[in-house]
Structure formats: C-alpha cells, structure tokens
A and B are shown apart, each in its own frame.
Chain A
C-alpha cells in the first residue's frame, strides 16, 4: 500500500516539475525523487498516447491510414526513439563531463515528455469536435506541448549535467547526430547478422546433402 502511494506521489510530482523545472529537476536527481518505475510508466503512457492519437484523432486532421496502421509498430517505434535518445545522450554527455548517469537521463527525459503527453491527449479529444477551419487550434495545442517539452528537456539536461545553456544546446545537436550513428550501426549489425545466418544455413545445407 505504501509502495503504491509512493509511486503515485512520484507520478504526481510531474505536475509540480513542469511548472517549476529548475527546482523540479534538481530535486528529481539530488532530492532522490526520480525512480525508474514512474519514469517507465510515463514512457509506456507515451506509447499508448501515440497509438491513441493515430487511431482516434478526428478524421479532419488525421491523415493516417487506419487500415494500414500497425499499433504495435507505433508503440515500439515511440519507445525505441526515446531509448535511443537516452543512450545517445548518455554517450555524448559522459565524454563531455556531464554529471548525469544513464538512469538520471532516462528519468529526466520521461518527466520532460509529460507536457507532450498531456497536449496530445487534449488535442486528440478536441480534434473530434472541430471543423477544418478550426484545425489551427488543434495544431496550436500540439505545438505548445512540443515546445514545452523541448524546453523542459533543455532545462532538465542543464540541471542534470551542470551544463551551461550553450553547452546543452551543443550536446543536444550532437545527440541527434549520435542517434543517426546508432541507427546506422544497428542496421548494419542486422544486415551482417542476416548474412551470417544465411552463411551458416548454407554450410548446413551443403553438409547435410
């Protein structure tokens, strides 16, 4: 019972954090409020919200072909992007003397995404009650959520790594590049693995014939 209460306290802490980011992120790490569990809950919620937005956004602003959408793919894609981001940022900031550990980065990213999650939920609901002329409200809410989350990410990383603003921007740009490199390596690994499997299978075939 206490564990559940504790969990929800940490979840509810996000409502304080998004309005007071500097103190919020400080306490998240130094005050020991951040935990893997609640952060993972946010990431799962993000994946769920992405599915909901692809399926239930109103027709007028939803250009997604519902018949061709694979919701599991959407969820995995969302989670994968966040995880790659975390790993790439950790790789970069470790080299640049950032103070954040992998766990801290993961938690900070999850908490920073809260405005995006909330704005997506609001815009999905709204999108079902608007006409094409009013669609700018939908895009406005989405944009607010995105910008807010981006701002929180920057503040979060500044506090976490004890970076200056300029250095944070630089690490974010390098992180984006690192994400591409990670994707490339991953694809190359897959291709090589596939070729290796093929090779082994071929030898097996030759040998058994």
Chain B
C-alpha cells in the first residue's frame, strides 16, 4: 500500500513538472511586418554563435569599446576605455594592439577613440574623440596623418569638437558624425580641409504649420519654434560611394517615418527606397510612454551597408538588428535586450562579413557573433541574386525559402517580382495577390488582359461576322416565306 502511494506521488510530481508551460525562446524571435503593419513571425534567420572577448584574445579585457569595423577578414575594435585599437581575425585569433604611435618624432596616444573605419587599402581612420581629431594609421600602426577641428565658422565655438563616427569614400573624402553637431555630417576633403555639412536634414513645414504660424502672435511663435534639432548617430559607406546614415535625435512627437535611416548620394540628398510594408524605421508598432508621452521608437545607433543594397541597422532601445533590402523591405530581425546568448545589454555597433554578423556590446565588453541560418542564407542569397538580375536563381531561392514559411509576404512579393521579370505573368499575379502588391499585380494583369485580347479578338470578330451574316440570311428567308404565304393566302 505504501509503495503504491509512493508511486502515485512520484508520478504526479513528474506530471506536474512536465505541465509547466515552457515559454518560447523570445531571444531569437524573427519577424517581418505584413501589409497591415502587423508583426509576422518568421523562421529564425540569424543565430548567435558565440562571443569574442579581449581576455580570450589574450590582449586583456575591453573597456567600454564603442565601435568595430571589419575589412578583409579582420575586426578593428575601438577600445575606448583602454585608449587603444585592437585588430584581430573574425574568429578572435591573431590579436594585435595599437596603443601608441610615433607622431612627428614623438610618442602619441589616443584619448577615448570612439569611431573606426578601414579603407579597402587597409588605412585605419580613427575618431580620437577626446583629443578632437581624426588619426590615420597604416595597417601596421605607423602614423600617416591627423586632422583636427575643421576650420570653419559654421561650427559654433561653443561646441567642443568630438568626432564619434567616420566613413571614408574611395577618393579619401571623410564623412564625420560629431557629438552635438546638428547641422549634418561633417565632410572633409582628402587633405582634411572642411568642405561643408553633408546631408543636413531639411526642416519640414506642412501647410497647416504654415497657416498656424501666419496667425500666431509673437509669443506663440516663440513657443512654436522650439524644434528639436536633428542629429545623426552613425554612418557607413557602401562600395558605390553612397552614405547610409542613421538619425537618432529628432522631434519624437511630430516626425516623418523617413527620417530614421537615410541613404545620401554625393550631393547629400536622401535617395533611400522605401517601398516596403513599413518605412525602414525599425519597429513600426511602438508604445507610448504613459508619463512623458514620448513615443518609444526604435533608436538606431549604428548602420552597416552590406552588398547588393542590403543594409543592417542596430536599434539601441530594444537591442534589435534590422536588415533591409534595397527596396526597403524588412528581410529579418534578430537580437534583443537580455542576458542570454544573442541578446545585448548595451549594443553600440553592428558589422557584417558575408553571412556573419557582429554586434559590439559596450556594457558586456564583448562582441557577439552571429551567423545566418539556412533560411536566413536563402533569404539573403535570393535578395542578392535578384539585385544582380539573376531572376531565375532568385525565384528558385525564394521558393525554397517559402518552404520554411508559408506566410512571409516579403517572400511572396519577391517571388512575384522574379516571375514578372521572367514574363510568367499569371503566376506572378497570384504571388502579388498574396503579398498585396497592387501596383505589380496591375502590371501583371495588364499583360494578361492584352494577351487575352490578342488571343480571342480575332475569333470574337469571326463569330460576330458569322452571326451577322446568319442573321441577314435568316431574315431574307423569313421575308421570302412570308411573301410566299401571302401569295398563297391570296
């Protein structure tokens, strides 16, 4: 009897343990936005593979590092708190430290280096923030040049010049994001001379504002003109010389969804394509702080221009990494705030190397490494193939990706586009119907209709002709009959 009791108790405990609901691992959740601006769950695209720490590299722990850059298979880390640059392989091997360099015969050091960029020729550009200068080094760490505060009156004297992020184009022009500068990105020529402010965000007026201003009193006008200045937070340059920049400081109560990420052409105009279901703005569904009324939008802190017009932006508020394609469709999302692997405490920089992603966590003093999953690889390869106009391959890859997810409108849209380019209009129309792309659906339908008319118009005319001829003949026959009958009656 006792034994039976014991067995029952053990069994019930086991059952109880199994009945505890296991919450889904939100840490790795991936989603896109569908046509009704709702989050659409997608298969995991990117998974964390590990972390890179200074200790493991044998160079001592990092101290609040603030930027990384990857060039030719090497990671360049701006280790801000330790006033040094660390260079290592993408797996953390062969670590090398640059803490000192010879500047005009004297030993020189960094003071809080915060931004780093490496050209294809492996020249290292460093934002030496607290020294207020840009330092250019060879890949072995030998000094080439330094560029101090830009010589211009446009930069108010009250602003202490603190360069934070830098990108350099193929001609050696430097684009610098500096702390509390709200006039745009500072552009220097290859000799360090000030060229101008680049990509300044225009103040947008709408008709209603203009009307309000025209009837407001002086005091009201003064209260109204308290506009929040717009500041860039980071930038990167792609292989074609377009500058991708993120804006983090702007008026959060009255904003345009186009302000979060900008793609600037050499004239400084925004040419980013925004055809996606939402603008490239991170989370399109956001909450509002009940106390302050502030909208809790994604806050982009870094951006990486990938190949084929793909770009990846890092949201510091929710720790999520958003990857968009050239047309502005959200490809996949990964990351998040938290303590498990693949989540961040204070993410500050994102980099990409092929199918690997690297996110620098300033608080944890490590780099979290990611790789794309099979699904993520398919999505990325398909996007690249489409961009390289290999529509058949793109179609094939997207269809393969659709085997993982039946609901991704982005995938259906891309398959539809590839089919449209291949001239398979009927099938493409079905895909555009699912992806709610009315414009492309219409383009397909127009061709289907034209083909239909071409196919049937001749036959239709023939039938009409036969009908008319038959009608006339019948009429004549009836007339004759009637005549005959009349004649008979008489």
A binding-site residues for B, Cβ under 8 Å: 59-60, 65, 129, 131-133
For B433, what are the chain A residues with a Cβ–Cβ distance below 8 Å? Answer: 59
Contact bitstring B271-286, A, C-beta under 8 A = 1, else 0: 0000000000000000
Contact bitstring B433-456, A, C-beta under 8 A = 1, else 0: 100001101110110010000000
Please state if B36 and A133 are interface contacts (CB–CB under 8 Å).
no
> Please, which residue of chain A has its CB at the minimum distance from the CB of B433?
A59
Contact bitstring B242-283, A, C-beta under 8 A = 1, else 0: 000000000000000000000000000000000000000000
How many Å lie between the Cα of A133 and that of B449 in the bound state? Answer: 14
Please state if A132 and B439 are interface contacts (CB–CB under 8 Å).
yes
How many Å lie between the Cα of A59 and that of B442 in the bound state? Answer: 9
- 16 more A-B contacts (CB under 8 A) besides A59-B433, A132-B438? A59-B438, A59-B441, A60-B438, A60-B441, A60-B442, A60-B445, A65-B36, A129-B449, A131-B442, A131-B443, A131-B445, A131-B446, A131-B449, A132-B439, A132-B442, A133-B442
How many Å lie between the Cα of A60 and that of B439 in the bound state? Answer: 8
For B445, what are the chain A residues with a Cβ–Cβ distance below 8 Å? Answer: 60, 131
> Please, which residue of chain B has its CB at the minimum distance from the CB of A129?
B449
How many Å lie between the Cα of A91 and that of B438 in the bound state? Answer: 45
For B442, what are the chain A residues with a Cβ–Cβ distance below 8 Å? Answer: 60, 131-133
For B443, what are the chain A residues with a Cβ–Cβ distance below 8 Å? Answer: 131
> Please, which residue of chain B has its CB at the minimum distance from the CB of A58?
B445
Whole-angstrom distance between the Cβ of B457 and the nearest chain A Cβ:
15
> Please, which residue of chain B has its CB at the minimum distance from the CB of A65?
B36
For B439, what are the chain A residues with a Cβ–Cβ distance below 8 Å? Answer: 132
Contact bitstring B409-453, A, C-beta under 8 A = 1, else 0: 000000000000000000000000100001101110110010000
Whole-angstrom distance between the Cβ of A207 and the nearest chain B Cβ:
38
For A59, what are the chain B residues with a Cβ–Cβ distance below 8 Å? Answer: 433, 438, 441
Whole-angstrom distance between the Cβ of B263 and the nearest chain A Cβ:
27
How many Å lie between the Cα of A65 and that of B36 in the bound state? Answer: 9
How many Å lie between the Cα of A67 and that of B433 in the bound state? Answer: 13
Whole-angstrom distance between the Cβ of A104 and the nearest chain B Cβ:
44
For A131, what are the chain B residues with a Cβ–Cβ distance below 8 Å? Answer: 442-443, 445-446, 449
How many Å lie between the Cα of A129 and that of B446 in the bound state? Answer: 9
How many Å lie between the Cα of A193 and that of B267 in the bound state? Answer: 66
How many Å lie between the Cα of A59 and that of B443 in the bound state? Answer: 13
Whole-angstrom distance between the Cβ of B430 and the nearest chain A Cβ:
11
> Please, which residue of chain A has its CB at the minimum distance from the CB of B447?
A131
How many Å lie between the Cα of A80 and that of B360 in the bound state? Answer: 60
How many Å lie between the Cα of A120 and that of B483 in the bound state? Answer: 49
Whole-angstrom distance between the Cβ of B448 and the nearest chain A Cβ:
10
What are 16 inter-chain pairs, A to B, with CB distance below 8 A? A59-B438, A59-B441, A60-B438, A60-B441, A60-B442, A60-B445, A129-B449, A131-B442, A131-B443, A131-B445, A131-B446, A131-B449, A132-B438, A132-B439, A132-B442, A133-B442
For A60, what are the chain B residues with a Cβ–Cβ distance below 8 Å? Answer: 438, 441-442, 445
> Please, which residue of chain B has its CB at the minimum distance from the CB of A62?
B438
Whole-angstrom distance between the Cβ of B462 and the nearest chain A Cβ:
22
How many Å lie between the Cα of A59 and that of B36 in the bound state? Answer: 15
Whole-angstrom distance between the Cβ of B383 and the nearest chain A Cβ:
26
How many Å lie between the Cα of A129 and that of B450 in the bound state? Answer: 11
For B449, what are the chain A residues with a Cβ–Cβ distance below 8 Å? Answer: 129, 131
For A133, what are the chain B residues with a Cβ–Cβ distance below 8 Å? Answer: 442
Contact bitstring B30-54, A, C-beta under 8 A = 1, else 0: 0000001000000000000000000
How many Å lie between the Cα of A132 and that of B440 in the bound state? Answer: 9
Whole-angstrom distance between the Cβ of A129 and the nearest chain B Cβ:
7
Whole-angstrom distance between the Cβ of A193 and the nearest chain B Cβ:
32
> Please, which residue of chain B has its CB at the minimum distance from the CB of A128?
B445
For B438, what are the chain A residues with a Cβ–Cβ distance below 8 Å? Answer: 59-60, 132
Whole-angstrom distance between the Cβ of B399 and the nearest chain A Cβ:
22
How many Å lie between the Cα of A65 and that of B442 in the bound state? Answer: 18
For B446, what are the chain A residues with a Cβ–Cβ distance below 8 Å? Answer: 131
How many Å lie between the Cα of A110 and that of B278 in the bound state? Answer: 43
> Please, which residue of chain B has its CB at the minimum distance from the CB of A63?
B438
How many Å lie between the Cα of A124 and that of B442 in the bound state? Answer: 16
For B441, what are the chain A residues with a Cβ–Cβ distance below 8 Å? Answer: 59-60
How many Å lie between the Cα of A131 and that of B447 in the bound state? Answer: 10
Whole-angstrom distance between the Cβ of B189 and the nearest chain A Cβ:
47
How many Å lie between the Cα of A4 and that of B349 in the bound state? Answer: 79
For A132, what are the chain B residues with a Cβ–Cβ distance below 8 Å? Answer: 438-439, 442
A-B interface, 5 closest residue pairs, ranked by CB to CB distance from nearest: A132-B442, A131-B446, A131-B442, A60-B442, A60-B438
How many Å lie between the Cα of A94 and that of B446 in the bound state? Answer: 54
Whole-angstrom distance between the Cβ of B23 and the nearest chain A Cβ:
29
For A65, what are the chain B residues with a Cβ–Cβ distance below 8 Å? Answer: 36
How many Å lie between the Cα of A2 and that of B439 in the bound state? Answer: 53
How many Å lie between the Cα of A60 and that of B433 in the bound state? Answer: 9
**Which B444-481 residues sit within 8 Å CB-CB of chain A?**
445-446, 449
Whole-angstrom distance between the Cβ of A135 and the nearest chain B Cβ:
8
How many Å lie between the Cα of A133 and that of B441 in the bound state? Answer: 12
How many Å lie between the Cα of A131 and that of B449 in the bound state? Answer: 9
Question: Which of B36, B439, B445, B446 counts the most chain A CB atoms within 10 A?
Answer: B445
How many Å lie between the Cα of A39 and that of B438 in the bound state? Answer: 38
How many Å lie between the Cα of A156 and that of B446 in the bound state? Answer: 43
How many Å lie between the Cα of A154 and that of B182 in the bound state? Answer: 58
How many Å lie between the Cα of A62 and that of B457 in the bound state? Answer: 28
Whole-angstrom distance between the Cβ of B376 and the nearest chain A Cβ:
29
How many Å lie between the Cα of A43 and that of B445 in the bound state? Answer: 35
